[in-house]
Amino acid sequence: MTVGIVGLGLIGGSMARAYKASGDWRVLALDRDETTLSFSMLAGVVDAPLTKENLGECDLVLIALYPFASCEYIKENAEHFNKNAFVIDLCGTKELVCEAGFAAADEYGFTFVGGHPMAGTHNSGFKYSRANMFSGAPMVIVPPRFDDMELLDKIKNLLAPCGFGKFSVTTAKQHDKTIAFTSQLAHVVSNAYVKSPTAQGHKGFSAGSYKDLTRVAKLNEYMWAELFLENRENMLFELDSIIGSLQEYRDAINDNDFERLKDILKEGRILKEQVDGK
């Protein structure tokens, strides 16, 4: 079996390592940085460069680029994919890429699947990639058909070397709506939180709460800016929601209103318990 990896950053590099470590896959890869590609081959992670000439040899193609670049790669290479191949993108948003992927698959005969591995770190780049990055992690997939169990089993089998712990099946629209809350908003809040002038003198006064809230403030601004704007409407909804909630806390504190402050804090605690099922 042969897998083609497009993009050798943290996610693509970890995919390449996982498939190589399985011992059952030949790994071809493409990266715009020739040094990264060369290093991946010297490290024994990648067997050979992925080209238009050997793209048709791939049983599976994993696209680990930003959304717009993923769309361009699909459009430019659709005619070169093997008609029996599965092409899975790994972007953080799904509507834009799935629209391009499903259209190209319909025209050229391969199978396109939207994918989002729910794993990663605040670091980026091939040097931080590891073979067990996805071990036990959730994987969200957007299949072309939701009533085809054989197709879903095939997708799970193809992704088996990654060791995902759970698969969730959804639509591209629902994915982007949910991910705006569970991931993208968290990155905005974390990134904004550390901009307080008080942050410069926090050493010696911070513990778990600070670390938890600021972990993802150290982000890849190029990637996240594209993801936020690609998911603009959902992000605006989540931002408006949290801004409205923060205003309630501010008003209660400004008015020295203990009862109101206690009530809205209680509301948050109860909602957290309900969300987590505890």
Do residue 13 and residue 78 come from a single domain?
yes
pLDDT at position 204, please? 63
Do residue 54 and residue 163 come from a single domain?
yes
Do residue 125 and residue 219 come from a single domain?
no
Domain end residue (candidates: 107, 136, 170) = 170
Do residue 69 and residue 129 come from a single domain?
yes
Question: Domain with 194 in it: what CATH number?
Answer: 1.10.3660.10
pLDDT at position 120, please? 78
Domains held by the chain: number? 2
pLDDT at position 124, please? 82
The range of the structural domain enclosing residue 149 comes to 2-170
pLDDT digits (tens, 9 = 90+) for 225-242: 999 999 999 999 999 999
Do residue 166 and residue 180 come from a single domain?
no
SS3 per residue for the chain: CEEEEECCCHHHHHHHHHHHHHCCCEEEEECCCHHHHHHHHHCCCCCEECCCCCHHHCCEEEECCCHHHHHHHHHHHHHHCCCCCEEEECCCCCHHHHHHHHHHHHHHCCEEEEEEECCCCCCCCHHHCCCCCCCCCEEEEECCCCCCHHHHHHHHHHCHHHCCCEEEECCHHHHHHHHHHHHHHHHHHHHHHCCCHHHHHCCCCCCHHHHHHHHHHCCCHHHHHHHHHHCHHHHHHHHHHHHHHHHHHHHHHHCCCHHHHHHHHHHHHHHHHHHHCC
Do residue 11 and residue 29 come from a single domain?
yes
Domain end residue (candidates: 153, 170, 187) = 170
pLDDT at position 102, please? 98
Residue-by-residue pLDDT tens, the chain, 278 positions: 999 999 999 999 999 999 999 999 999 999 999 999 999 999 999 999 999 999 999 999 999 999 999 999 999 999 999 999 999 999 999 999 999 999 999 999 999 999 999 987 777 889 999 999 999 999 999 999 988 999 999 999 999 999 999 999 999 999 999 999 999 999 999 999 999 998 887 776 667 888 888 888 988 899 999 999 999 999 999 999 999 999 999 999 999 999 999 999 999 999 999 988 76
pLDDT above 70 coverage of the chain, percent: 99
Domain end residue (candidates: 143, 170, 197) = 170
pLDDT at position 278, please? 64
pLDDT digits (tens, 9 = 90+) for 151-182: 999 999 999 999 999 999 999 999 999 999 99
Question: Domain with 78 in it: what CATH number?
Answer: 3.40.50.720
Do residue 220 and residue 196 come from a single domain?
yes
Do residue 147 and residue 238 come from a single domain?
no
